[in-house]
Copies of this chain bind each other. A is one copy, B any other.
Amino acid sequence: MTEAIRAAVFDELAAVGYGRMSIEAVARRAGVGKTAVYRRWPSKLQMVIDVVSDVVGYDVPAPDTGSLRGDVRMILDIAARALRHPLAGQIVPDLLAEAARTPDIARTLERALRDTQRGLGEAIVAAAVTRGEVGPATDAGMALDLALGPLYWHIAVLREPVTKSYLDRLADTVATALAVPRPPRAADEAH
């Protein structure tokens, strides 16, 4: 029962988005009376936050492939797989947009994204540091930005297909960029 409603929330979110989603429609889709919904959650916002929180409470295992490039490639693969999922691919951008005007949603996504993500980045960079692949001052946050940013941009913004080859090249580039020692600040400030 509760499971049917949770699934219906996802389907409805994907179909019409958070803004247009109505509790009536969720109940209809789940095949339950809306009484059943109101018995569980006091509002649309609370319902969505609860349902979404449940799902994003996954724990991505820190990859350990033995090389920075391999680790980055694995993270890219996991992220790409998630974003390619029809439901997630539709819901994530939607909630992201909604987060800009609903602090509770922003907080939920923040916990989901930033916290789990930060740990991942630090683990990967730390491993690469001990391996001697990158310098000890390497910025883990920047590393993840470099990897996930282009991926998200490609999938969610440009909406172009992401091929294995693209992921390979992206992982290559990111690992290389991080491995290169800080350049001697050639051609500084303005042109």
Contact = CB atoms under 8 A, between A and B. Distances in A.
A142 interface: yes
Interface in A16-73: 16-20, 65-67, 69-70
Nearest to A117: B158
Scoring A97, A113, A154, A156 by chain B CB atoms within 10 A of each residue's CB, the highest score goes to A97
A70 B191 contact: yes
A18 B19 contact: yes
A100 interface: yes
Number of copies: 2
Interface residues of A, number: 52
Contacts of A158: 113-114
Contacts of A99: 159
A146 B159 contact: no
Contact of A177 (B20, B93, B177): B177
A111 to B, nearest CB: 12
Contacts of A154: 145, 149
Given A150-B145, A159-B106, A69 B173 contact: no
A157 B152 contact: yes
A4 interface: no
Scoring A17, A67, A169 by chain B CB atoms within 10 A of each residue's CB, the highest score goes to A17
Interface string A90-114: 1001101111110000100010011
Contact of A152 (B18, B113, B152): B152
Contacts of A173: 142, 146, 177
Interface of A: 15-20, 65-67, 69-70, 89-90, 93-94, 96-101, 106, 110, 113-114, 139, 142, 145-146, 148-154, 156-159, 169-170, 172-174, 176-177, 180, 183, 187, 190-191
